[in-house]
């Protein structure tokens, strides 16, 4: 879920053309869960192959990555490693929520409550080790690089951005800012009109960027103080302080009273996260044969659609990867 800094952070709508030729470190789990939430059948069921294996995440990863390359964006996916021990309680609560959502979803299906079917189905998403392994194989076949983080993917993506191995970190959550990403991109793969949960209202979602220095300057905070504000509100590592919202948290931190709440030790999870320098970001050449083998033969994707998409992928790789590399050389 991440920390809720939306009320404090200024977001700037951007066009994908502003990211042309730039590598963007994408929080893989964040994006894959997004695909599991929105790529579903009418009854809320996920897309599956003939063996009953989920393929919604692979469909999203494959086609959206091609879209990004065609826009000139160079995606670099970052996968989570072992979660910090302090996150185990949060993960356990999320599992409980998913179990309850599944019960609600099944009841909605039996009673024919169309709106609730979709709502609860989206809350049941779960990524297994096999699904994550399939995602990595698909990326390999497409020639798209990924980085395996030792712990939190968002922390590693922020690290890539800080080292300038990526132009920005991409995630729906604001945690990347707490981990020190100089630039956060939101809604990278989620644009267009979307229906608000539980309401008959549609909103237009655009790609946004948040600049860390601008946020700190606007709020008159240091990054450490921004982390303090987040901890008072609540993060994946702690539930926050009851009754304290963003504005109250901001006041407390500016008054120098954060230490009164006994959360000082948690700051290091954001200020000194577990990251690695053991990675190589190298875009390869797509393998049409390998892509067809994985998606069509193994997971029953439409051969016609995949062949058409592969043609786009090869062309986009030539344009986005090889041409921008040539431009950088000269």
Measured distance CA(247)–CA(264) in Å, rounded: 20
Correct CATH for 12-218 of 3.40.50.150, 3.40.50.1010, 3.30.470.10, 3.40.190.10: 3.40.50.1010
Annotated domain spans of the chain: 12-218
**Per-residue model confidence (pLDDT) at position 329:** 29
Give the global pTM: 0.87
pLDDT at 120 (0 to 100): 56
Positive/negative CA dihedral, 29, 204, 192, 44: positive
The answer to whether 3 and 234 have CB atoms below 8 angstroms apart is yes
pLDDT attached to residue 92: 54
Per residue in 18-55, is it b (16+ CB within 10 Å) or e — as a string?
Answer: ebebebbbbbbbbbbbbbbbebbeeebebbeeeeebbb
The rounded Cα 124 to chain-centroid distance in angstroms is: 17
Q: Which pLDDT value is given to residue 98? A: 52
- Provide block-wise average pLDDT over 10 residues at a time, the chain (330 residues): 80 94 96 90 88 96 97 97 74 55 60 59 77 98 98 97 98 94 92 59 84 96 97 93 95 97 94 97 97 98 98 95 51
Q: How many residues does the chain have?
A: 330
Q: How far are the Cα atoms of 26, 182, 241, 246, 249 from residue 213, in angstroms, in the given order?
A: 20, 7, 26, 19, 19
CA-to-CA dists, residue 29 to 106, 128, 129, 170, angstroms: 25, 11, 11, 11
The predicted pLDDT at position 102 comes to 58
């Amino acid at each position: 879920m991440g920390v809720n800094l939306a009320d404090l952070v200024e977001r700037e709508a951007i066009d994908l053309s502003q990211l042309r030729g730039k590598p963007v470190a994408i929080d893989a789990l964040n994006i894959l869960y997004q695909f599991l939430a929105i790529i579903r059948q009418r009854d809320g069921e996920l897309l599956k192959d003939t063996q009953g294996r989920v393929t919604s995440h692979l469909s999203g990863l494959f086609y959206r990555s091609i879209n990004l390359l065609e826009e000139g964006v160079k995606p670099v996916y970052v996968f989570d490693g072992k979660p910090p021990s302090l996150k185990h309680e949060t993960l356990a609560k999320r599992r409980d929520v998913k179990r309850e959502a599944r019960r609600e979803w099944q009841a909605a299906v039996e009673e024919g409550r169309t709106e609730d079917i979709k709502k609860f189905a989206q809350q049941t998403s779960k990524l297994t080790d096999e699904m994550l392994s399939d995602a990595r194989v698909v990326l390999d076949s497409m020639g798209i690089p990924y980085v395996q983080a030792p712990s939190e993917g968002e922390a590693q993506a922020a690290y890539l951005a800080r080292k300038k191995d990526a132009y920005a970190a991409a995630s729906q959550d604001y945690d990347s800012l707490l981990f020190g990403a100089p630039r956060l991109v939101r809604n990278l793969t989620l644009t267009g009109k979307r229906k608000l949960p539980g309401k008959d209202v549609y909103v237009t979602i655009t790609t946004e960027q948040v600049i860390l220095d601008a946020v700190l300057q606007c709020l008159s905070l240091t990054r450490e103080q921004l982390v303090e504000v987040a901890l008072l509100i609540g993060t994946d590592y702690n539930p926050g302080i009851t009754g304290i919202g963003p504005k109250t948290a901001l006041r407390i931190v500016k008054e120098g009273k954060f230490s009164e709440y006994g959360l000082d030790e948690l700051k290091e999870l954001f200020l000194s996260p577990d990251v690695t320098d053991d990675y190589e970001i190298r875009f390869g050449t797509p393998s049409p044969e390998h892509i067809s083998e994985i998606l069509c033969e193994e997971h029953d994707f439409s051969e016609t659609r995949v062949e058409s998409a592969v043609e786009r992928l090869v062309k986009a790789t030539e344009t986005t990867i090889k041409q921008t590399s040539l431009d950088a050389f000269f």
